[in-house]
Amino acid sequence: EADIYQTPRYLVIGTGKKITLECSQTMGHDKMYWYQQDPGMELHLIHYSYGVNSTEKGDLSSESTVSRIRTEHFPLTLESARPSHTSQYLCASSEGPTQGGVNYGYTFGSGTRLTVV
């Protein structure tokens, strides 16, 4: 089934560890995004990509980095996790706008709930 998948679903890790949150989509979308969200709270854009080899920082400053080597894959990496990184990380993708100017919303992944102890 075409969807967007995030792994792991939950992660508890010690301070100073390097972690990579995986995000893959099978919808062929060019555009992908990472949001940080405390449960039920505001969504903050931390990274986005408009296609392969394209990555941009979002509006919320983040110590994480991303890469986009393949269309379907948009992993997020924290080189040295800290307790302040504890949050939920949501990956999303979208198509559009099309050449006809039609816009589409995001499809979100199920999220990774990260706890740094």
Partner 1 sequence: GENVEQHPSTLSVQEGDSAVIKCTYSDSASNYFPWYKQELGKRPQLIIDIRSNVGEKKDQRIAVTLNKTAKHFSLHITETQPEDSAVYFCAAKYNFNKFYFGSGTKLNVKP
- By the criterion CB under 8 A, which residues form the site for partner 1? 31, 33, 39-43, 45, 48, 50, 59, 90, 94, 96-97, 102-103, 105-111
**Of 14 and 59, which has the nearer Cβ to partner 1?**
59
Query: Distance between CA atoms of 98 and 7, rounded to whole angstroms?
Result: 30
Query: Distance between CA atoms of 46 and 34, rounded to whole angstroms?
Result: 6
Residue 94 Cβ vs partner 1, minimum distance, rounded to whole Å: 6
Task: Find out whether 48 and 54 touch, Cβ atoms under 8 Å.
Answer: no
Residue 85 Cβ vs partner 1, minimum distance, rounded to whole Å: 20
